[in-house]
Chains A and B, each alone.
Chain A
Amino acid sequence: MFSYLLLTAWRSLKRNPFLSLLVVVGIALGIGVSTTFVTAVYRLSLHPVPEKEDRLFYVRMDSWNPERPWRDSLPDDPPDQMTWRDALEVTSGDIPTHQTFMYKAELTVHPEDKDMRPFRASTRLCTNDFFALFEVPFQYGGPWSNAADAAAEQVLVLDHATNAKMFGGEDSVGRTLRIEDREFMVAGVMAPWRPIPKYYDTHNNPFEDPEEIFLPILLSESMEINGAGNDSNWKGYERNEYADTLASERIWIQTWVQLDTQRQKDDYAAFLDAYALDQRKMGRFERPLNNWTQETAAWMRDQHIVPAEAKTLLIISLLFLVVCSVNLIGILLGKFLARAPEIGVRRALGASRGTIFMQHLLECEIIAAVGGLAGLGLSVLGLWTIEALFVIDLNFKLDLNMVGAGMLLALVAGLLAGTYPAYRVCRIPPAQYLKAQ
């Protein structure tokens, strides 16, 4: 029976191709717009390392001004970065499976090739666990060693593009690169890697490329490398020495840990609290105890990775789909009622109201499916346009989930548009049209 209803619905569609096309276009427009924004918000909301969804944590500690919270608008939130000394201390234990503290800087690279001019390279100062923590793929070599971290050795990891630029894409492990006034040995070259958003540090631009060069963070002390990211400070200090900054209450360091078990989570929370209480004895951490190990998804929400405007546009686009569907109700009603005599005949021949309802709903769903496919095509165009407007690769691509979501939306829109006309047409008294046909 289902196949017959499908066949009947298809025949009915072909009978009035212009009206059918009109409805398809209506659905396609609605799906095109809504799927574009659903995909954009979905892409921005995706967990960047799904396999570590509940294991990767951003650490936040409230070392802020005892007189007022870090943000007046968010009085319960601890600051979103840490001081150097706190970050250094809370990553010195062995509770987490992986842990790192880090910041962004800009350093000058002096190429060996005399034809190339020195250039400023975005640089991340971090510990070697950064690469395991965020599952950074390597093309050549690997992260520097623990010993290199501890001794602040002059080693580095290059990103794929910088290796191509400096060494023609060859295996450059063991070769040297001059940064500022020092020679660094290449420990590893990353394979192409571009987390979207750049969740491990969202403070400047969550959609910028990862850094070009990665160095052991303890080099900061000897090289006196200043951060190039956002920072905040509630307590003034004299900046006579670089060490003054490291000892200050300035927050500019990001700290991440990987906690695989509940035991680790509990132990690490206790560890943070114990550290804060210790610091309180020294006159710091005077605010109520408020230390967070925040899951990545929650961290990204706090950082407004999905802009409020995008969410608003998503809602508007879904409303647009609803409006498209509601507009189609009239067209479908006219189309179906014009077929009343045939429906009378079918009812006389044994079709129940339910059968007639189902036949017409199926017709709507066929239209919706075709409109959905066309809408997905429009959505690809829309996503491409958004990326072109932002001039950066946001990886706004339709994946299978989004194709499924788009088709589901289309079918729901078809139901929305078709249910009332199908209901009306199945309630037609058959006798009324049999004589008049």
Chain B
Amino acid sequence: MLEMKSISKVYRTEHVETHALSELTVTVEAGSFVAVMGPSGCGKTTFLNTAGLLDTFDTGTYHLDGQDVSKLKDREMSRIRNEKIGFIFQTFNLIPDLNVFDNVDVPLRYRGMPAGARRQAIQESLDIVGLSSRLKHLPSQLSGGQQQRVAIARALAGTPRLILADEPTGNLDSAMANDIMDLLEKINETGTTVIMVTHDPELANRAHRQIHLLDGRQIDLEMDEPVPLAGDRAATVGE
């Protein structure tokens, strides 16, 4: 599904160069559920943004679903994002003045789907997350968990092959976080590849595979070893 080889990404300011990704090589099989872990600043989000074609990279190659995406134009990358990738964010990122229906509708509109098909897709995805009775609610009228469910419905509505979730439970209590994880597992069971960034080892353990990043590189960790905690860079570096 996703194959990155020697991907590097450097953020430059006048005085500082930050290596967000350094020669990162990652492969994710189609249909897998992968958790990406690592301390803050290790490049998890940059990896996810690169994987989601939201950010460019400086060197390396990246094939998504068999297609080399390194030289695509903005319009082509936008189409791939729209058709193949669903995003779930920690802060939900719902558009505040659109109701639930209209929020889920956004990616379908950009795909140019006819109204009937859009309505059906929205209904089905909201059924999956259990919010089909809240079509007219604004995000501000929903709880955090419900908002994240709407965001998941939005990601699902376009039936993407890949879900990229950036700390999807980071703003939720443990009960709600479990619900969201259940949902992601359910989605994965339908064949959708899920890549989830998380700091939570328990949630990461529910994934098929974990990728650990440190200083923009993937590091090898045995699954039964303690996973470095957020911000615990020294422990990771020492290995």
Contacts and interface: CB of A to CB of B under 8 A. Distances in A.
Contacts of B101: none
Given A350-B82, A352-B78, A431 B107 contact: no
A435 interface: yes
Given A1-B109, A435-B166, A348 B54 contact: yes
B81 A349 contact: yes
Interface residues of B, number: 31
A15 interface: yes
Contacts of B91: 435, 437
B54 A353 contact: no
B97 A350 contact: no
B82 A341 contact: no
Contact of A431 (B49, B90, B110, B111): B49
A351 B93 contact: no
A351 B95 contact: no
Interface in B7-25: none
B52 interface: yes
B83 interface: yes
Contacts of A266: none
Interface string B106-122: 11011110000000000
B54 A350 contact: no
A344 B110 CA distance: 14
Contacts of B189: none
Given A351-B78, A352-B75, A437-B91, A4 B97 contact: no
Contacts of A350: 78-79, 81-83, 107, 110-111, 158
A204 to B, nearest CB: 64
A316 B12 CA distance: 47
Nearest to A353: B74
Contact of B97 (A11, A348, A429): A11
Contacts, number: 76
A334 to B, nearest CB: 19
B45 interface: yes
Contact of A349 (B46, B74, B107, B166): B107
Contact of B106 (A1, A346, A435): A346
> How extensive is the interface on chain A, given as a class?
20 to 34
A339 to B, nearest CB: 10
Interface string A344-362: 1111111111110000000
Given A352-B78, A437-B93, A347 B154 contact: no
A345 to B, nearest CB: 5
A355 B95 contact: no
Interface in A306-364: 341-342, 344-355
30 contacts: A1-B110, A1-B112, A15-B97, A344-B93, A345-B95, A345-B106, A346-B110, A347-B78, A349-B81, A349-B82, A349-B110, A350-B79, A350-B81, A350-B83, A350-B111, A351-B78, A352-B74, A352-B79, A353-B74, A353-B78, A354-B74, A354-B75, A355-B78, A355-B110, A429-B55, A431-B46, A434-B166, A435-B45, A435-B89, A437-B91
* 6 nearest CB pairs, A to B: A350-B82, A352-B78, A350-B110, A431-B49, A349-B107, A431-B54
